[in-house]
Amino acid sequence: MRPPDPIASATLARLYMTQGHWVRARAILDEVIARVPFDGDALALRARFEPPRPRLAVTLHDDQLCLRWQGVTDPRGVHVVVCAWGAPPPAAGPRVTSRACASAFGRHLLPRPWARGVLVASLGRMRPSGYAPLVVAEPLGWG
């Protein structure tokens, strides 16, 4: 085991990054975070090495529910799953539907099923063991 580098810092890692030395910068950031796990500057720089996280938003557009996603690095097996509850009482039970993502970003429109309701949507991967969510959108209520 080698001793920690005394000049390892987020600033030094940033210099390596600007020069294109990504492997060395990542090693320095790992060392800084191992030494000081809550170093905000090092954590922010380290996050640049992580793949972007997918995002999902649900909005009401005219009389349609609009689901928009982006940042899906590998859309194979990824689905948008929607669960909606509505009123009046005959529609009190949930309605669940899903749609496969065909690309890294996209949009899907659904008709607004009730005058008043709530919708929750998630973006996730279908696995043999079941559904594994990647991201959950903010719930949407209308009416």
Check residue 60 and give its pLDDT: 92
2 in a domain, yes or no? no
pTM: 0.66
Contact assessment for residue 119 and residue 82, using Cβ atoms and an 8 Å cutoff: yes
Check residue 32 and give its pLDDT: 94
**Buried b / exposed e along 74-91 (16+ C-beta atoms within 10 A):** ebeebbbbbebbbeeeeb
Check residue 42 and give its pLDDT: 94
Element (H, E) at 11: helix 10-18
- Clarify whether residues 67 and 33 are in a common domain: no
**Short-list 104, 111, 130, 134, CA closest to 122:** 134
- Clarify whether residues 79 and 114 are in a common domain: yes
Q: What averages of pLDDT result for each successive group of 10 residues across the chain (143 residues)?
A: 77 93 92 92 90 90 92 90 82 81 92 89 90 94 89
Check residue 90 and give its pLDDT: 63
5 in a domain, yes or no? no
36 in a domain, yes or no? yes
Question: Residue 32 belongs to what domain range?
Answer: 10-47
Cα 33-134-38 angle, rounded to 5 deg? 15
Check residue 87 and give its pLDDT: 76
CB-based burial of residue 119 (10 Å sphere; 0-12 exposed, 13-18 middle, 19+ buried)? buried
96 in a domain, yes or no? yes
- Clarify whether residues 66 and 100 are in a common domain: yes
